[in-house]
């Protein structure tokens, strides 16, 4: 690491355990900076302006893009994660810009067709280093973005890159953490927050999308203790409220309760572990961000409900099977006929290998582009 940005406008009220631009591990490449933004604010802005971030608009969570314009995409999900993450960081006097940057970057390496795409690419790449979306997100910000004259990637700060590679959730486990990022050592508290902001966001927006799609109904959700508590509270507070508004208010209340519990329990953990500074966090090496035990159990019940009733719904399963076919056929065809790839991808094969280049190309596709590419390659009357 070679360069730390100027940081004249960093908030003066940050907690001692917050990450600071002035203490950053710096950037990989020297560059002439045009203005004195704090490092993590600059990182956030670079991520927002990247091509990979824009492509998230047409990469989906549960529902595939052509199924409707209402459903969440990776872009709207990332924005919701950032909003929730910043709300938690603000309550804890943490670095909101670092929190936001990690949130906006955490899904940059995701494939089309949600986690199905990741599973298929990992299987297809088993003999060539595999595929894991945290590593791919890091690859995007370190290598694949092409915006600057003297280096590839976005040249982000070490702390943002660490937060990307160590992102963890029930669907995302850090794999093969590079030595540079201190394997086995917990990341910043800001990065830990994103693990939970991610979960809070998708639990609640998947309820919303599930109800909107008709794959879930309000009667089913009465099985879930958290939903039952919040929905009952909203209905008693606003008698006669129509179902749509009651649903929206319940989801809002759920998000608020998740944030409140997580924040309070994190403060308790910091106090019990005597963590007063960011150096203490690394020395103690313990995850401090977590739900309280009772709330955590209610959250697990909600996740089990969504897994059984939404993520494994037969209509979602049908799309999953189709997505497996799309990606497998595209990969095999490009492998047999690499000249079908755009020229700039062909040129990179000598340096990183044919399969990795194909993997990069497919991982960067949106749902819509992958479907169109499938038509172009396999439907005789489709224009190429």
**Could you report the per-residue pLDDT of 220-261, keeping only the tens digit for each?**
999 999 999 999 999 999 999 999 999 999 999 999 999 999
Domain that holds residue 287: 21-316
pLDDT tops 80 at residue 154: yes
Is the residue at 163 inside a domain? yes
Which pLDDT score is estimated for 121?
Answer: 97
Which pLDDT score is estimated for 177?
Answer: 63
CA–CA dist 198, 13 (Å, integer):
26
pLDDT above 70 covers what percent of the chain?
A: 92
Mean pLDDT of the 367-383 span = 89
Instruction: List helix spans (H) across the chain.
Output: 39-48, 51-55, 74-91, 96-105, 114-124, 133-139, 158-165, 189-213, 218-221, 225-237, 243-272, 278-284, 293-306, 314-336, 343-347, 349-352, 354-363, 367-378
Is the residue at 372 inside a domain? no
pLDDT tops 80 at residue 52: yes
pLDDT tens figures, 317-351:
888 899 999 999 999 999 999 999 998 888 889 89
Is the residue at 329 inside a domain? no
DSSP, residue by residue, 35-55: S---HHHHHHHHHHTSHHHHH
Is the residue at 106 inside a domain? yes
Confidence band of 45 (pLDDT split at 50, 70, 90): very high
Cα angle for residues 104, 154, 30 (degrees, 5° grid): 135
Mean pLDDT of the 39-55 span = 96
pLDDT tops 60 at residue 7: no
Which pLDDT score is estimated for 165?
Answer: 95
The Cα-based distances of 208 to 125, 149, 286, 323 in angstroms read: 34, 43, 34, 23
Mean pLDDT of the 64-81 span = 75
Which pLDDT score is estimated for 173?
Answer: 54
The tally of domains found in the chain comes to 1
Is the residue at 349 inside a domain? no
Whether residue 167 contacts residue 198, with contact meaning beta carbons closer than 8 Å, is answered with yes
Which pLDDT score is estimated for 108?
Answer: 97
Which pLDDT score is estimated for 247?
Answer: 95
CA–CA dist 50, 105 (Å, integer):
10
Q: What CATH number is attached to the domain comprising 117?
A: 1.10.3210.10
Confidence band of 8 (pLDDT split at 50, 70, 90): low
Is the residue at 336 inside a domain? no
Mean pLDDT of the 370-378 span = 94
pLDDT tops 90 at residue 184: no
Full-prediction pTM beyond 0.85? Answer: yes
pLDDT tops 90 at residue 123: yes
Confidence band of 174 (pLDDT split at 50, 70, 90): low
pLDDT tens figures, 17-35:
999 988 999 999 999 888 8
Which pLDDT score is estimated for 70?
Answer: 52
Residue 328, both tokens:
């497998």
Is the residue at 330 inside a domain? no
Which pLDDT score is estimated for 128?
Answer: 95
Is the residue at 384 inside a domain? no
Task: Give the largest CA-CA distance in the chain.
Answer: 68
Sign of CA dihedral 372, 377, 378, 379: positive
């Amino acid at each position: 690491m070679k360069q730390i940005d100027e940081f004249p406008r960093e908030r003066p009220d940050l907690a001692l355990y917050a990450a600071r631009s002035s203490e950053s591990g710096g950037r990989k490449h020297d560059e002439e900076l045009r203005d004195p933004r704090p490092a993590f604010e600059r990182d956030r802005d670079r991520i927002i302006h990247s091509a990979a971030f824009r492509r998230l608009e047409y990469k989906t969570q549960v529902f595939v893009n052509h199924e409707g314009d209402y459903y969440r995409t990776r872009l709207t999900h990332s924005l919701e994660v950032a909003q929730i993450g910043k709300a938690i960081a603000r309550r804890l006097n943490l670095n909101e810009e670092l929190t936001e940057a990690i949130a906006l970057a955490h899904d940059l390496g995701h494939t089309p067709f949600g986690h199905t795409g990741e599973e298929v690419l990992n299987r297809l790449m088993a003999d060539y280093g595999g595929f894991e979306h945290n590593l791919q997100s890091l690859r995007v910000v370190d290598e694949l973005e092409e915006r600057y004259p003297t280096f590839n990637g976005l040249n982000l700060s070490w702390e943002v890159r660490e937060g990307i590679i160590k992102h963890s959730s029930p669907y995302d486990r850090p794999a093969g953490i590079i030595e540079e990022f201190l394997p086995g050592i917990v990341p910043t508290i800001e990065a830990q927050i994103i693990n939970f902001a991610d979960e809070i966001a998708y639990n609640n927006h998947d309820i919303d999308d599930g109800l909107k799609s008709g794959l879930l109904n309000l009667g089913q959700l009465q099985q879930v203790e958290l939903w039952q508590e919040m929905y009952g509270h909203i209905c008693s507070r606003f008698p006669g409220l129509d179902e749509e508004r009651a649903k929206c208010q319940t989801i809002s209340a759920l998000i608020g309760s998740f944030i409140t519990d997580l924040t309070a329990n994190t403060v308790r953990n910091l106090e019990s572990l005597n963590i007063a500074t960011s150096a203490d966090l690394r020395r103690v090496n313990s995850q401090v961000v977590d739900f309280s035990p009772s709330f955590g159990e209610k959250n697990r019940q909600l996740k089990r409900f969504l897994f059984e009733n939404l993520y494994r719904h037969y209509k979602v399963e049908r799309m999953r099977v189709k997505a497996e076919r799309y990606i497998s056929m595209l990969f095999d065809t490009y492998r047999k006929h690499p000249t079908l790839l755009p020229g700039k991808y062909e040129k990179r094969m000598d340096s990183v290998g044919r399969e990795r280049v194909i993997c990069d190309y497919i991982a960067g596709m949106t749902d819509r582009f992958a479907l169109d590419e499938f038509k172009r390659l396999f439907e005789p009357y489709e224009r190429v």
